[in-house]
Chains A and B, each alone.
Chain A
């Protein structure tokens, strides 16, 4: 179990108004972990993760962010992070984009294309 935080990154911002571009899609479909968690899960380049929260699930690429503590994952804000986010706004209009509890497991499943992801289940 880990805590998921979503937020802005430079590449996410640079692709923000060109969201169908590979730059944006690659950036927002990546899940960053601490070096310790990355090693503990036996991950290496090109491996993917299945993230599951009480609100949904998604497959993302795995990356390392040395600024993260153990037990925390970071996903650049976008459609992938939002697969895991609930709609409850606690009465103030704002969903909980940070602090979502997620299960993180390595997977052989592929990361969906943005069209496949958005239209999944439709």
Chain B
């Protein structure tokens, strides 16, 4: 039977676009309409991991789900300090289950945020955030600033749905009614479509933000003629552009969090926005990458009080980024087993961390093979959230949305897999 399902949510990036149309025929997805290239690619599907596998004498061998759950539990129970990492591309319900597992085995729960917008979260904890929903920005913002981000490639529908090119209640002409400013170290596709592009030198975001704060605070005369390679005249023009907006919005990306200064860049940008509110209305938002990385932070925060890198080894939640975050734990060899879910640290972490991961037992829960599979000792294929199972996810502005199930799954969902591993952990504990 052929079905057209409307208002489907795309589970790729933090935009969580909720207007996708999907055609299903005989239980298979045949066509996706309205999604970007990234979303279409995900919803149409790829090569799946076919069966659970356990590594025997260096080679992955197919096995049953029951054996895979048992082996995973044995690894976690034997470990002194296991890492449970990923969570950004699965549902809030899966992470809730993962936190219970981490509490019982004394593990660390960390999300991919620590190598993404983790520094943004630290900056927000320090400074506070003048925020808004994406809807408010779409309907009101007449100045959009993209700082260290490139939505044309990383969030392809962001500009059309929520920001520079979107028509809104008070912005009826869309792009014509808005000014777009891009601040970046290279001229990206996003920069080519801007009204103004400010190219800065790598690692100088903090200086540029500080200079803008001085100008906006009426201290321009104290500035040198040149700040990190940008002329004072140009900075004054940018500051005027910001002050003269009726409603300005800064979207910032990993250009701030990955560069020199890290969370201090974000802290400074939040202060800039706070000070701009003495002159006009201004808001700021992180361009979150994975579709539910915001939700992962929310679930951890309401469960433990901390948004990422939460260590349960002491019997109570303990949080100290730089100590309990994934990269630091691996590079210090401070964990001795890892459960990797809905993420691919082998591709996304520095080589030194990947080598540490390869030295320890690794359990992987994922629908797809990726470089982490090359190191995994137990591989458990899962259903895809938002396509084969339902659940909850948070958009980049903190709005929670319900993911739908479009087709039946041949695989168990992440919640079911984690519950089965937890049951096996409890059984092993009882036996001992």
Contacts and interface: CB of A to CB of B under 8 A. Distances in A.
B350 interface: yes
Given A79-B347, A82-B348, A72 B255 contact: no
B351 A82 contact: yes
B173 interface: no
A72 B200 CA distance: 12
Nearest to A8: B154
A83 B187 CA distance: 25
Interface in B224-268: 254-255, 257-260, 262-263
A94 B118 contact: yes
A18 B41 contact: yes
B150 interface: yes
A77 interface: yes
A10 interface: yes
A118 B374 contact: yes
Interface in A47-85: 55-56, 65-69, 72, 74, 77-79, 82-83, 85
A104 to B, nearest CB: 15
B115, B185, B187, B368: most-surrounded residue (chain A CB, <10 A): B185
A112 interface: no
B185 A89 contact: no
B322 A86 contact: no
Contacts of B191: 67
A87 interface: yes
A92 B121 CA distance: 11
Nearest to B115: A94
Contact of A93 (B41, B115, B350): B115
B368 A17 contact: yes
A111 to B, nearest CB: 15
Contact of B114 (A9, A83, A94): A94
Given A14-B41, A95-B115, A99-B259, A19 B202 contact: no
B297 interface: no
Contacts of B369: 19-20
Interface of A: 3, 5-10, 13-21, 28, 55-56, 65-69, 72, 74, 77-79, 82-83, 85-99, 114-115, 118-119, 122
